[in-house]
A and B are shown apart, each in its own frame.
Chain A
């Protein structure tokens, strides 16, 4: 029954959007996302997908189109990469602040200047604080499945979801992918129900100015000030881990595939040295774990699937047995360390887990990073940790720092 095809990550994402019966698409081409925008155009012009495609003049407009179409009740989709995502920055906040369940693929790429078209995750990491849920995928099957899941999550908590996957490494690499049965997808993902809708039948104004204080409406009911409204977005994201896990569980029931809800583990049963990361670098780390295991080091991997909301509680549990933690990141918070490293260490603050954590910045702008190199780095850290080196400056892997 299962329909397996060999396809790229971009194709998988496009199929995910099609199966989710998106109604409005707006996208602007940028490498490595372009192919996704092209495939969706093909679906629509070829009559395979009944949706409006707005061929906008830039990414700021792409997301704006999605925002506005969503306010009249349409299910919307967009995708971008790197500078395109940065160009959307203002509207990322606008989408989340309007509480619109927009789903966007971010095909991760390094940002300029200087230019690179190749992969890292600086683009989406630097949009961390925009109120979007961020999910990182590790293979093409997960991309397809996550796009479908993303709508269910977004429409449950009314927050936008960014489905992130690595440019070229996944976007342009062929992998076998099982295509879910469209009928089952329809059951799994019922039609979009807006929380409020703009329509002449009930004329109201959305996204007005808010005062710092609360204010009564015409019936004398005290309504939110700016801060309460913002708190509700935070509350929605705080509520979302349970929704993400439930969605993942339900997806596994229906389609027989479980990509993990907030995170996943590999050879974690008795792992002492735990490697972690997001997206393809985490799946690369699985091979590294195998190599280290062959050497007799009890290595495992925790793949972090959801970066926002940060699943601190789940991760505390996942890293419980760790005696050393190695964090691989394709991005950096300049002037400090990898953002994931900071967040992870903060999650352990005050907990029993005080395992040393070493941070490696790897693969920026497509710099090659092989499983062997991850294993070497993790082993080196493991040795240092044995000799009591708990704190270590962030290491730039495979980088001639001189």
Chain B
């Protein structure tokens, strides 16, 4: 067993037999997030795929206490948990709010911005599968240009993905990181680190989703890897304003071996109607972001 696998908490916090789809990238990411945070954690989550994974009454597969709240309320719910635990003198507990891209980029943005501005002592996780999957793969502001969704069913999405990381960084929070289930150790390390930091911590998870993206479930890890290798989902962390590439993205930045986005896009049914201009625009968009990150990593 490779040395770095040994350090991972061997305990599983999600009992098997969940409602998540075959090959769900969220299941994989959540598995490592909970391993990293361990028992002394309370989770709060809105309506989304994770809510379904958390089970139907009277059972849950998740061995960490969790509070389902309404769609727009995730970060406020975390603020309530933090305040309540403080009032009850339970400051040893980590509060994690976790929501989808819809519950973060769109409806949850107000509560999240408020909680971050208040410096609420919690970890906020956005798991970004780039659409409203729970309600049937509708467009969200995290959906990338050129993707077919059930609300962009013919013409594809016309706009680029919202740069939510910039929005979160503008809140001057204590810690910001991106991670991918295709790199579980990098993901795990970031959660372990986040747990130790005080204040608002934001972790963005790029989540491959077989039914939503229209690819075979067996390719979930591959799809996540391609997202990273094309620069679409760069892995990094920002602490005290200092940007740092991590893992695969770090070696890519050093070696300059970034793959063209087409390698990733062509493998997903959701991009099958994408036209050549859109492809160029996406490549251009990714290039621009990557260069900006690269510049910052050298500062």
Contact = CB atoms under 8 A, between A and B. Distances in A.
A297 interface: no
A211 B56 contact: yes
Given A56-B79, A57-B114, A61-B114, A70 B62 contact: no
A26 B54 contact: no
Interface size class of A (residues with CB under 8 A): 35 or more
Contacts of A200: 39-42, 64-65, 93
Interface in A139-186: none
Contacts of A211: 56-57
A278 interface: no
Interface stretch (B70-78, B210-218, B225-233, B290-298): B70-78
Interface stretch (A217-225, A306-314, A387-395): A217-225
Interface string B139-179: 00000000000000000000000000000000000000000
A163 to B, nearest CB: 20
A69 B79 CA distance: 8
Given A52-B83, A68-B77, A215 B57 contact: yes
B66 interface: yes
Contact of B83 (A57, A74, A216, A218): A74
Contact of B67 (A73, A198, A202): A198
Contact of B69 (A24, A26, A207): A207
A58 B114 CA distance: 9
Contacts of B41: 200
Contacts of A208: 51, 54-57, 60, 68
Contact of A24 (B40, B55, B70, B87): B87
A67 B80 contact: yes
A37 interface: no
Given A54-B80, A215-B57, A203 B69 contact: no
A223 B59 CA distance: 10
A351 interface: no
Interface in B24-77: 39-42, 44, 51-52, 54-60, 62-70, 72-73, 76-77
B81 interface: yes
B79 A204 contact: no
B45 to A, nearest CB: 9
A272 to B, nearest CB: 50
Contacts of A229: 57
B200 to A, nearest CB: 14
28 contacts: A24-B83, A52-B87, A60-B73, A60-B110, A60-B111, A61-B79, A64-B69, A64-B73, A64-B79, A64-B111, A69-B83, A72-B81, A72-B85, A94-B70, A198-B42, A199-B65, A199-B90, A200-B42, A200-B65, A203-B39, A203-B65, A204-B65, A205-B62, A207-B69, A209-B55, A210-B57, A216-B58, A229-B57
Interface of A: 23-24, 26, 51-52, 54-58, 60-61, 64-74, 76, 90-91, 94, 198-200, 202-211, 215-218, 223-224, 229
Interface of B: 39-42, 44, 51-52, 54-60, 62-70, 72-73, 76-81, 83-88, 90, 93, 110-111, 113-114, 117-118
Given A68-B81, A207-B68, A223-B58, 15 more contacts: A23-B87, A24-B80, A54-B118, A56-B79, A68-B44, A68-B69, A68-B77, A69-B81, A200-B64, A203-B39, A208-B55, A208-B68, A209-B51, A215-B58, A224-B57
